[in-house]
Amino acid sequence: MLKTTKTTRSFALAALVSIVLVGIILTGTRSSLDRTINAAIASESLTHVRHLTRQIQESFPELDRIARDGLVKVETRRRLQQQLVFASGLVQLKVYSADGLLRYVHDQKRWLADGSQRSSEALQDSRASGHEVYKRLDADPGTVLIRAVEPLATETQKRFGYLEITFDHSDNGNIFRDGFRWMIFALPLLMALAYLGPTLGWLYLKSRNQRAEARLRHMARRDSLTGLMNRATFTAEAEAAFAEPPRPLHNHGIILIDVDQFRGFNAAHGHELGDAYLQHLAETLRSHLRKEDLIARLGGDEFAALLPHVLPDELQSAANRLRAELRRPFQHEGKAVAGRARIGTCLATPNDTLDELLKSADIALTHAKRNGTDQVVAFTEGLDSCRGRCEQIESTLRYAWDTGRAHMVYQPVIDAKTQKIKGFEALMRLTSEDGTPISPAEFIPIAEQTGQICDLGRRAMEEAMRVARDWPEDVFLAINLSPAQFRDESLVEEVRWLIDSLDFPAHRLEFEITEGLLLEEDARVQSQFKALKAMGISMAMDDFGTGFSSLSYLLAHDFDKLKIDRSFLTGLADDVTRQRKVLKSIIDLGQQLGLVITTEGVETTDQIDLLTHLGCDLLQGFYFSKPLPEEDAHALLLDDRDSPALQA
């Protein structure tokens, strides 16, 4: 901004200087040219007059007589009149005696009708000096009128009269002046151009360099996609804000924002839309925060805002405003797309450094991400201990299988028609060092983040297959697979090895995978998916309907089963008609695609009736059984085999 005004100012100055210079050059050149031209015309006219005077004297020797005694023969008068008509420019010819008496007048243009008798100034001068005299009689600037008086003398220099010629040289002068007129304009113009060209060129190059420099500086300081500050600039500017003197009751506040499952968003909607979403997010931050707030894209899908000198309420309401705004779907090329953003905030205490503030806000953000909440999470000391808990879980997970803190439980999956057990879903359990259970909702994300899930998952799979080996031949075993396990190239080999070594029939095995995995469309995921299917293993799409594009992925992959997420039972319970319609559509669609449909989270007889009526194949939920330890699952299975099947 500053640079632009500076450049504009130099241009304006150059333009002003140029105009003044062109003006000076124009007037200067014009007047000096005028002078030169006039001088040239005068000298040319004199030559001409001299020539004419000489010619007349030579052609008319009778002038001698005329001057002496004023006698003009008829023949001489006729000759004079005839010949002088052709003397171009001649206005008047007069012949005087030696004492200045007018002897003869030839007035070509009736020039001096009255004053012809009066002796001219030029004559007086010539008589006084005894020399020839030339006078300019020009009335206006366009005319060149010359009067020449030449003494007439004998060969012995005896003066006997004067010849006076009045001569109009205007036409010649004008022709001459016209010839030079273009120079009056062209010359100053050329001179001005000679000055302006290099000056403007220099100014242009200078401003271009300045612009390039500014752009480079901007690029180094800004994030190219969103135009927000980058991390380095943000840190520097925030440090400067921290160096300012504090204000009573006010403190610096920080808001950290992270896009939930941005990888998934990108894979589902394409990178162009992903970029557009980040730009939309940046714009939302810009338009909903104050001018003095520092806003930055710290990296990938992570944004930060430092709100200098705010009250606790102000920070909270700014964060809530952003949350409300980011919940709305955003429009891109006629398409409404919803993204999810997590927000963590922290208000500095007087002695906090920027680093500490950022760390605390990050803990709040991690909490928001882990809980999957789209509420704003404000940092509290309690959350900090939560970080300690994560570290504790991570260490518990490290040796969980070897120390007996991990084990598997099995939840039955029931045939909706016969209400007999068709299989079990194996679910992992973790107990902390003090013996309290840790929920998978808590430890699975940590295991995924730390990469421990591959090892844990392998052990879980081995354990579940070893248990399920003793179940009847027709009972399937469903195992949850994490995206990280799928990304691991050895997955197929390990599964094959387990199947072979435990002698477990592949057709009894089922893998449940969430859409999140398939979003990471790459050749490896595809080929592992196919290889597992080729071995005879069933593939189930888990948590159907909770992700971004369940439907398109369902169509793109060769699934055997579809598990409707339990949120479809709980979330829609208020509006039964609507719930019915949604469930019916999903079940119909799944069946049209030849998939077996399971609904999770079945807790009531009403839900069973509804799902059975809608044609859902399998049911799973607390109504039938909670996930059970190995022995209980086995006992339930034996019971189930003994009891009669329900008649549809």
| Residues in touch with ligand C2E (CB under 6 A) | 411, 427-428, 439-441, 444, 457, 460, 480-482, 512, 542-543, 566, 600-603, 620-622, 627
Asked whether the beta carbons of 149 and 126 are under 8 A apart, the reply is: yes
444 binds, among Ca ion, ligand C2E, none (CB under 5 to 8 A by kind): ligand C2E
93 binds, among Ca ion, ligand C2E, none (CB under 5 to 8 A by kind): none
* Residue 84 vs 491, nearer CB to ligand C2E: 491
For Ca ion, the nearest residue by Cβ is 512
Give whole-number Cα distances, 163 to 139, 186, 262, in Å: 23, 44, 111
627 binds, among Ca ion, ligand C2E, none (CB under 5 to 8 A by kind): ligand C2E
d(CA 303, CA 295): 8
CB of residue 538 to Ca ion, shortest distance in Å: 13
137 - beta bridge partners? Answer: none
428 binds, among ligand C2E, Ca ion, none (CB under 5 to 8 A by kind): ligand C2E
* Residue 289 vs 426, nearer CB to Ca ion: 426
* Residue 164 vs 543, nearer CB to ligand C2E: 543
Asked whether the beta carbons of 406 and 432 are under 8 A apart, the reply is: no
258 binds, among ligand C2E, Ca ion, none (CB under 5 to 8 A by kind): none
411 binds, among ligand C2E, Ca ion, none (CB under 5 to 8 A by kind): ligand C2E
* Residue 337 vs 427, nearer CB to ligand C2E: 427
482 binds, among ligand C2E, Ca ion, none (CB under 5 to 8 A by kind): ligand C2E
CB of residue 587 to ligand C2E, shortest distance in Å: 18
- Reduced to 3 states, what is the DSSP secondary structure of residue 425? strand
Cα end-to-end span (Å), the chain: 78
* Residue 278 vs 586, nearer CB to ligand C2E: 586
603 binds, among Ca ion, ligand C2E, none (CB under 5 to 8 A by kind): ligand C2E
CB of residue 397 to ligand C2E, shortest distance in Å: 12
* Residue 259 vs 478, nearer CB to ligand C2E: 478
592 binds, among Ca ion, ligand C2E, none (CB under 5 to 8 A by kind): none
CB of residue 405 to ligand C2E, shortest distance in Å: 14
Asked whether the beta carbons of 286 and 236 are under 8 A apart, the reply is: no
d(CA 400, CA 394): 10
Going 460 to 461 to 462 to 465, the CA torsion angle's sign is positive
284 binds, among Ca ion, ligand C2E, none (CB under 5 to 8 A by kind): none
326 binds, among ligand C2E, Ca ion, none (CB under 5 to 8 A by kind): none
128 - beta bridge partners? Answer: none
- Reduced to 3 states, what is the DSSP secondary structure of residue 644? coil
User: H or E stretch including 152?
Assistant: strand 145-153
d(CA 65, CA 161): 10
* Residue 488 vs 600, nearer CB to Ca ion: 600
Which ranges of 256-348 does DSSP label H, i.e. alpha helix?
Answer: 262-269, 271-288, 312-327
CB of residue 409 to ligand C2E, shortest distance in Å: 7
d(CA 229, CA 283): 13
CB of residue 441 to ligand C2E, shortest distance in Å: 5
Residue 576 CB burial class (10 angstroms; 0-12, 13-18, ≥19): exposed
Asked whether the beta carbons of 148 and 121 are under 8 A apart, the reply is: no
* Residue 45 vs 482, nearer CB to ligand C2E: 482
Residues found in the chain? 648
**Tokens at residue 200, please?**
């403007």
CB of residue 399 to ligand C2E, shortest distance in Å: 17
Tell me which DSSP letter residue 647 carries: P
538 - beta bridge partners? Answer: 510
Tell me which DSSP letter residue 185 carries: H
CB of residue 532 to ligand C2E, shortest distance in Å: 15
CB of residue 480 to ligand C2E, shortest distance in Å: 4
* Residue 49 vs 569, nearer CB to ligand C2E: 569
* Residue 301 vs 512, nearer CB to ligand C2E: 512
Q: Torsion-angle region of residue 505: left (phi > 0), alpha (psi -120 to 50) or beta?
A: beta
CB of residue 466 to ligand C2E, shortest distance in Å: 14
457 binds, among ligand C2E, Ca ion, none (CB under 5 to 8 A by kind): ligand C2E
d(CA 301, CA 269): 15
Residue (of 428, 562, 621, 426) closest to 504 by Cα position: 426
Interaction site with Ca ion (CB under 5 A): 480, 512, 542-543, 600
d(CA 182, CA 10): 33
Scan for tokens 């045939």, then name that residue: 415
* Residue 378 vs 517, nearer CB to Ca ion: 517
* Residue 223 vs 543, nearer CB to Ca ion: 543
**Tokens at residue 631, please?**
């022995």
CB of residue 387 to Ca ion, shortest distance in Å: 28
CB of residue 420 to Ca ion, shortest distance in Å: 21
